[in-house]
Amino acid sequence: MKLLTHNMLTSNIIKGVTKGFPLGIQVSKLEEKSVDFNPDFVARMIPKIDWSALKQAASDVGKGDEIPADIVPQYEQNEDFLKKAHHVLMEIEVIEGELVCPESGRKFPVSNGIPNMLLNEDEV
């Protein structure tokens, strides 16, 4: 699971959970996979994602230092920023671990890079 994917996941499917975002990450295995840098693509992703959630996710997996706390002005032209964002969004993958609902504490296992977001019948 890339952190960009993590940025889209929520646990608001649980009964009683309203926002369920961002999910906390408890990681036991992390991998870094090289992905071709496409500045245009990253620049177009920035407004779609929740930056503070990305920053928190990066911190959760021990990579909090690799991106700034806020989106820099005129980031479209800032290759250094886009490269950092690219690395954190696209190249860091959670392989084993758990995603934690911020409201209920419910944990969703991540195994072989695949989050299991299924709920039990009584949670829906």
Partner 1 sequence: MADSGKESKKGQRKVEKKLSKLRQNLKEKEEILHSDFPTLVLCVCNGGLDNSVTYSEILELFGGSEIKCDVIMIPQKSYCFVSYDSINMSEEACKRLNGSKLAPTESRKNEVILYTLFVKEVPKGISPSNVLPPGLILLTDIISDKYAAEIMESVNFDAEENSVSQQLKHRRVKHYGYEFKYSINNVDPDEPLNDRIPVIFKHLLEKLLEKKTIKFYPDQLTVNQYQPGQGIPPHVDTPSAFEDGLVSLSLGSQVVMEFRHPDGRHLSVLLPPRSALIMTGESRYTWSHGITPRKSDIVTLPNGRLTLIPRGVRTSFTFRKITGIKPTVQVSEQHTPNIPCDESTAVELEKLHVNKVYEEIADHFSGTRHTPWPNIVGFLNEQPDSSMLADIGCGNGKYLGINKTLYEVGSDRSFNLAQIVQSRNYQVYVGDVLAIPLRENMFDVCLCIAVIHHLSTEDRRQRAVAELLKILRVGGKALIYVWAMEQELNKVKSKYLKKNKNNESADTNTDDKNNATGYHGNTDVNSKAFELDNVTDCKENAEKTDEESNSDNVCNIGDKIDEVLNTDKENIDICDNEIEAGNSSENTNPNMSQKLHVHVNRTQFQQQDLLVPWQLKNGKSSKTRNENTFHRFYHVFTKGELETLCIKAGNCRILKSYYDQGNWAVVLEKL
- State the residues that interact with partner 1 by CB under 8 A: 1-2, 4-5, 8-13, 20-21, 40-41, 44-45, 48, 112-119, 121, 124
Q: Smallest gap, in angstroms, from Cβ of residue 9 to partner 1?
A: 6
Compute the residue count for the chain: 124
| CA dist 103 → 3, 87, 89, 99, 121 (Å) | 20, 29, 24, 12, 19
Residue with Cβ nearer partner 1 (74 or 112): 112
Return the number of the residue (51 or 65) whose C-beta is nearest partner 1: 51
Give 65 or 91: the residue with its C-beta nearer to partner 1. 91
Cβ neighbours of residue 2 closer than 8 Å, sequence gap 6 or more: 89, 90, 91, 92, 93
